[in-house]
């Protein structure tokens, strides 16, 4: 039982989740840590990008963010109150290995050691993500993810972290959302490092796959045998606008460059042939060397899924610059129906159910974990200090119900990590969007539980979801 109010829901009305289901929450280092220049940390691509005029709303940066670097004990105490079983955090690569090469910085390692120890003392399982988009700027200056050497530097970094934290952290994720790193960072440039090149995006995607495989192998070489190694993908739930041939082909193209560009190398050791054909005007893929795809297919223990909304696609032309390398002249994205979040993303939990059933069928035997799911709304503290967010509660309820339906339909889903624990730096949106179930007053760093946090604590304590 959590320290929050005793739940009073009739157990007979509860959609129960399996015993041992992992109830978690998640964050990312650059979005919450702050302390951007403390204890040996050097700039990442996001430090550089956010300090470039016009790249981030209101000129916001992650220099302070939610100040988690100095307030981690307070944040762990909040998680303990919520009753979460797991906490998914990311390690800031430039905090522990400032140049992306060589020995680690002790103070950086010590921060993550203390965080892991604090979590374990609170009865919370640490889940570490090695890369959540904060590439050391020095590696970007040397070529970044389009450059093959970055994959080898990542494998070395993975071994360093496994050696430092392997006695405390039993679950490791290599990469978070490599699609965003490749196609938003190097394709349309709306994320760091802000490049706009289809070729760079495709090269980056391949080298991220290679980095995952090499990193997984490096982790296995250091971690205890019982440790879990994973990868998190933001797979797209793609729906054609109609059954017209052009719309069906648009969906196929987006599935190739949005999903199968990672699924096929990682799970089958191959590139999708239709992707190669779709992108023939961009590249001949000669940067893929013998052995790369076999390396990318290193075995993993689970697949993390980040889901927020589906994508409706139709025949047409995308806005320029587009992240959809090889598809931009064939695909448009008409607005999806239904309510929308503050990000202007459609709310549709059925897309998550559809995605989980697809993975059930295509990847039998691969356990699945929802590693991010949540919504941004325009939250504020009322005069009494309360933060009411009924839209978020409704969103979370619908998506957890979709996960429960998928479990009943045979999907092997092992856990759910709500995004996000805290309001934070929301990438190119700066501090204008709030995803947290804990409200952060960025002027004072005061934390306030939103109604959604109390709701989630009740879900966890009863081990299930009250039917509505």
Active site residues: 177, 372
Q: Which helix (H) or strand (E) covers residue 88, if one does? A: strand 86-90
Quote the tokens at residue 464.
């299930």
Quote the tokens at residue 251.
């969906």
Q: Counting Cβ atoms within 10 Å, is residue 290 exposed (0-12), middle (13-18) or buried (19+)? A: exposed
Residue 295's Cβ-side half-sphere holds a number of Cα atoms within 13 Å equal to 20
Regarding beta strands 311-315 and 331-332, do their DSSP bridges make them parallel or antiparallel, or are they unpaired?
Answer: antiparallel
Cα–Cα distance measured from residue 400 to residue 224, given in angstroms and rounded to the nearest whole number: 32
Cα–Cα distance measured from residue 414 to residue 356, given in angstroms and rounded to the nearest whole number: 12
Cβ partners under 8 Å of residue 100, min gap 6? 93, 94, 135, 136, 138, 139, 150, 153, 157
Quickly list H helices, 182-260: 198-222, 245-255
Residue 178's Cβ-side half-sphere holds a number of Cα atoms within 13 Å equal to 32
Instruction: List residues bridging with 238 in a β-sheet.
Output: 311
Cβ partners under 8 Å of residue 165, min gap 6? 109, 112, 113, 116, 126, 128
Instruction: Answer for the pair 408, 16: CB distance below 8 angstroms, yes or no.
Output: no
Cβ partners under 8 Å of residue 320, min gap 6? 328
Interior/surface letters 120-145, b for 16+ CB within 10 angstroms, e for the rest = eeeebbbbbbbbbbbbbbbbbeeebb
**Would you call 396 helix, strand, or coil by DSSP?**
helix
Instruction: List residues bridging with 232 in a β-sheet.
Output: 176, 304
Q: DSSP secondary-structure letter at 343?
A: T
| Count of beta carbons in the 10 Å neighbourhood of residue 90 | 24
Q: Which helix (H) or strand (E) covers residue 270, if one does? A: none
Instruction: Answer for the pair 303, 366: CB distance below 8 angstroms, yes or no.
Output: yes
Instruction: Answer for the pair 302, 266: CB distance below 8 angstroms, yes or no.
Output: no
């Amino acid at each position: 039982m959590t320290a929050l109010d005793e739940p009073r829901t009739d157990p007979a009305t509860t959609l129960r989740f399996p015993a041992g289901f992992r109830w978690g929450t998640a964050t990312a280092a650059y979005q919450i840590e702050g302390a951007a220049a403390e204890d040996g940390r050097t700039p990442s691509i996001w430090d550089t990008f956010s300090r470039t005029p016009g790249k981030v709303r209101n000129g916001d940066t992650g220099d302070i963010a939610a100040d988690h670097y100095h307030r981690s004990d307070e944040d762990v105490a909040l998680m303990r109150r919520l009753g979460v079983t797991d906490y998914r955090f990311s390690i800031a690569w430039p905090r522990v290995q400032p140049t992306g090469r060589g020995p680690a910085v002790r103070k950086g390692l010590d921060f993550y050691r203390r965080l892991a120890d604090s979590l374990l003392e609170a009865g919370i399982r640490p889940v570490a993500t090695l890369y959540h988009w904060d590439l050391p700027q020095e590696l970007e200056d040397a070529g970044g993810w389009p450059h093959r050497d970055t994959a080898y530097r990542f494998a070395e970094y993975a071994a360093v972290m496994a050696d430092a934290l392997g006695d405390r952290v039993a679950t490791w994720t290599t990469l978070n959302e490599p699609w965003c790193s490749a196609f938003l960072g190097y394709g349309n440039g709306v994320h760091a490092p802000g490049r706009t090149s289809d070729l760079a995006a495709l090269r980056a995607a391949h080298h991220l796959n290679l980095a995952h495989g090499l990193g997984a192998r490096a982790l296995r070489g250091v971690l205890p045998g019982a440790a879990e190694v994973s990868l998190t993908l933001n797979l797209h739930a793609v729906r054609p606008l109609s059954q017209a041939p052009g719309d069906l082909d648009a969906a196929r193209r987006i599935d190739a460059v949005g999903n199968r560009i990672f699924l096929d190398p990682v799970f089958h050791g191959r590139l999708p042939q239709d992707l190669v054909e779709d992108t023939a005007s961009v590249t001949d893929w000669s940067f893929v060397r013998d052995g790369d795809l076999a390396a990318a297919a290193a075995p993993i223990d689970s697949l993390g899924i980040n889901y927020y909304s589906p994508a409706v696609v139709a025949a047409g032309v995308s806005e320029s610059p587009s992240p959809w390398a090889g598809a931009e002249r064939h695909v448009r994205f008409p607005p999806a129906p239904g309510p929308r979040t503050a990000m202007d993303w459609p709310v549709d939990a059925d897309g998550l159910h559809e995605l989980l059933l697809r993975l059930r069928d295509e990847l039998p035997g691969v356990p699945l974990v929802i590693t991010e799911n949540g919504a941004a709304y325009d939250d504020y503290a009322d005069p009494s200090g309360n933060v009411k967010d009924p839209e978020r509660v409704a969103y979370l309820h619908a998506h957890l119900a979709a996960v429960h339906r998928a479990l009943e339909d045979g999907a092997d889903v092992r856990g759910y990590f709500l995004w996000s624990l805290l309001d934070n730096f929301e990438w190119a949106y700066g501090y204008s969007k709030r995803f947290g179930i804990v409200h952060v007053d960025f002027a004072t760093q005061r934390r306030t539980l939103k109604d959604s946090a109390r709701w989630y604590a009740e879900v966890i304590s009863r081990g299930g979801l009250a039917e509505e």
